Amino acid sequence: MSTDLRTLIAEANRAIERAGLVTLSFGNASGVDREAGILLIKPSGIPCASIEPQDLVAVALDDGRVVEGSHRPSTDTPTHRLLYREFPEIGGIVHSHSSFASSWAQAGREIPALGTTHADYFRGPVLVSRPLELAEIEGEYEWETGRVIAETVRTHGRTPEDSPAVLVASHGPFAWGPSPAAAVEVAVALEAIAALASQALMLNPTRKPIAPQLLSRHFDRKHGRAAYYGQEGFVAEGRPR
């Protein structure tokens, strides 16, 4: 397990606390080392703000056993593990009970795409899962939570890239991305998107989602081959005066 990845995952845990997404210990970030076949995650019940690289718990992707670390891993570890297995393209996951996103989850409503902040991250609504069945709740609950998230993405014809978070009904958001830092960014954006949508619908309860073309314009200017947001690959075409 590389020192760098540990550092990045510890930083992701602290970042969600700094961003105001975490109350008490309701939140965790993880990352995955695909080659080693393990994920690294926050210990259970320990505040995100104080997580250092050596606090993280290493868990095997294949069978979930703790392979390194003296703490018990987050109770949500099976959810993370399932998602890493189902979504091979992702490298980091963030779970929180952040206020606005969780209130949509508790309301059991998907978040409609009402604006361009939303479109920068999601190509369509932010999906909400179905309620878990009783057998799922009383069985391997956290594992089943992961299964329901993956099912939600797939049954709506979405992908982990264009739907980088799902609201688990009556629970809260799980967000992901190619790296732990990218998952943090989605979690932060999602909380802002959820707040905007709540406030917008109070002002205009029948407001319809934005046009698909506007949705695509914003999503595509940040994602994919034609992206022109950010600094990647930029060569200044002008010249100093």
Site for a second copy in 126-165 (CB under 8 A): 131-132, 134, 137-138, 141
Q: Is 34 in the site for a second copy (CB under 8 A)?
A: no
Catalytic residue among 62, 141, 228, 229: 229
- For a second copy, the closer of residues 154 and 231 by Cβ is 231
Q: Is 106 in the site for a second copy (CB under 8 A)?
A: yes
- For a second copy, the closer of residues 31 and 43 by Cβ is 43
Q: Is 72 in the site for a second copy (CB under 8 A)?
A: yes
Stretch 73-92: interaction string toward a second copy, x if CB under 8 A: --x-----------------
- Report the residue from 196, 224, 225, 226 that binds a second copy according to the rule CB under 8 A: 196
- Report the residue from 46, 47, 85, 162 that binds a second copy according to the rule CB under 8 A: 46
Q: How many CA atoms lie within 13 A of 113 on its CB side?
A: 22
Give residues with Cβ within 8 angstroms of 59, minimum separation 6. Answer: 38, 39, 40, 41, 65, 66, 67, 73, 77, 81
* Residues linked to residue 96 through DSSP beta bridges, in sequence order: 27
Residue that has been written with the tokens 């264009």 in this structure: 162
Q: Is 4 in the site for a second copy (CB under 8 A)?
A: no
Q: Is 217 in the site for a second copy (CB under 8 A)?
A: yes
Q: What is the distance in angstroms between the CA of the first residue and the CA of the last residue of the chain?
A: 49
Catalytic residue among 55, 120, 162, 220: 120
Q: How far is the CB of 79 from a second copy (least distance, A)?
A: 12
Give residues with Cβ within 8 angstroms of 180, minimum separation 6. Answer: 8, 9, 11, 12, 29, 30, 31, 91, 92, 93, 94
Active site residue 120: yes
Q: How far is the CB of 160 from a second copy (least distance, A)?
A: 20
Q: Is 50 in the site for a second copy (CB under 8 A)?
A: no
Q: Is 104 in the site for a second copy (CB under 8 A)?
A: yes
Q: Is 102 in the site for a second copy (CB under 8 A)?
A: yes
Q: How far is the CB of 150 from a second copy (least distance, A)?
A: 19
Residues 185, 179: contact at Cβ < 8 Å?
Answer: no
Give residues with Cβ within 8 angstroms of 197, minimum separation 6. Answer: 104, 111, 112, 114, 115, 118
**E strands, 169-240, in order:** 172-177
Q: How far is the CB of 220 from a second copy (least distance, A)?
A: 11
Active site residue 62: no
For the beta sheet containing 66-68, the strands, ordered from the edge strand earlier in sequence to the opposite edge, are 66-68, 57-60, 38-41, 27-33, 92-96, 172-177, 165-168, 127-128
Is beta strand 165-168 parallel, antiparallel or unpaired with respect to 127-128? parallel
Q: Which residues are catalytic?
A: 120, 229
